[in-house]
Amino acid sequence: MSWPDAPITVRVPATSANLGPGFDSLGLALTLHDVVEARVTAGGLDIKVSGAGEDTAAAGEDHLVVQAMRAGFDATGGQPPGIGLRCVNVIPHGYGLGSSAGAIVAGLLAARALAPGGRAMTDADVLHLATRLEGHPDNVAACLTGGLTIAWATPSGARTARLQPVCGLETVVFIPERSLSTAQTRLLLPAAVPHADAAANSARAALLIAGLTVEPALLLAGTEDLLHQPYRAPAMPASVGLIGRLRAAGVPAVVSGAGPSVLALTVPGVHPGPEACAAIAAETGVTWQITPLRADLTGATVGPS
């Protein structure tokens, strides 16, 4: 098998999943990116990581990008003699901004680009495999395609529909000092919820899609959630407190993914803007890393290094 000599570069966006009521189904890609350079080597495993998660370089075969590359190479026909990785990470780990989804997507796309032949891996194959590795499709779908995505499960695997966010959409991410694991916060979710709550959430999720694509004035009502945020609240009181303050000021604000980051969705002339959101956060007395972002409309990209 003849492997390519040249490295490739994969660029993946951060993502925010759920967006309030769209539990495990809605995702939004954001203009914050990790960059992975991957190449086939003569043997062994060489990993260098800078930025967020620098300590993961020592994980070897347990590194998430490597795990995804191995899965991708298995899907395309065989493993290379060796792998070299250079990861420049900006997406923070453990804050609900899709760092694991980005790593998985980067690894799968790198493997597809480096594979010399054998079985072809389609975009649908990448989504299915990424969902299996991640456990749910919301973040990986948005990371792959960019924009606003709706993801759902079928007997043949995950599927996704991409929507164009409304013109002028701005987001503000509020990152607290301490991280939380998704596994930890999922343990707080109940096995069942009241039928009335499920019905209310269904309506809010439909309203949210309308607000994000057509009528931004609907976003405040559309971001109300009864399925997961109330149950996760005890694990992130500062985040919940900030969300309450923002929403009281007319800002559509939600827990980003499983938290503890907070995501504010704003459109100029409709909601208070990023500066007003930052001033509200300052009133909490909590230290936040405040990052204004936009929706990433491109998604993951692959190119030569």
At residue 181, the pLDDT reads: 80
Average pLDDT rounded to a whole number, residues 175-186:
86
Ramachandran category for residue 28: left, alpha or beta (phi over 0 → left; psi -120 to 50 → alpha): beta
Q: Residue 47 contacts by C-beta under 8 Å, 6 or more apart in sequence?
A: 57, 59, 60, 63, 66, 84, 85, 87
Do the domains 170-293 and 8-162+296-304 match in fold? Answer: no
**What local confidence, expressed as pLDDT, does residue 183 receive?**
77
Tens digits of residue pLDDT in 195-204: 999 999 999 9
Q: What is the pLDDT of residue 305?
A: 80
Parallel, antiparallel, or unpaired: how do β-strands 44-51 and 22-41 relate? unpaired
182 falls in which pLDDT band (50, 70, 90)?
confident
For position 212, what pLDDT does the model report? 98
Q: What is the pLDDT of residue 259?
A: 94
Which backbone phi and psi does 135 adopt, to 5 degrees?
105, -20
For residues 116 and 281, the model is more confident at: 281
d(CA 170, CA 266): 5
* pLDDT, the chain, mean: 95
pLDDT tens-digit map of 48-104: 999 998 888 888 999 999 999 999 999 998 999 999 999 999 999 999 999 999 999
Q: What is the pLDDT of residues 122-171, one digit of tens each?
A: 999 999 999 999 999 999 999 999 999 999 999 999 999 999 999 999 99
Q: For residue 83, which phi and psi values (nearest 5 degrees)? A: -130, 135
Residue 278 has pLDDT above 70, yes or no: yes
Q: What pLDDT sits at residue 186? A: 84
Q: Listing from the earlier edge strand, what are the strands of the sheet with 289-294?
A: 253-255, 262-266, 170-175, 289-294
Asked if 49 and 89 touch (Cβ cutoff 8 Å), the reply is yes
Question: CB count, 10 Å around CB of 247?
Answer: 16
Is the domain defined by 170-293 classed in CATH 3.40.120.10?
Answer: no
What is the spatial distance between Cα 90 and Cα 97, in angstroms, rounded to a whole number?
Answer: 11
- Domain topology for 8-162+296-304: Ribosomal Protein S5; domain 2 (3.30.230)
pLDDT band at 180 (very low <50, low <70, confident <90, very high): confident
Give domain limits for the chain.
8-162+296-304, 170-293
Closest-CA residue to 124 (of 77, 160, 162): 160
Label residue 185 by pLDDT band (50, 70, 90). confident
pLDDT for residue 167:
95
Q: How do residues 8-64 score in pLDDT, each as one tens digit?
A: 999 999 999 999 999 999 999 999 999 999 999 999 999 999 999 888 888 899 999
Residue 177: the pLDDT is 93
Tell me what pLDDT residue 118 has: 62
What's the confidence (pLDDT) of residue 148? 98
How confident is the model over 255-282, as a mean pLDDT? 97
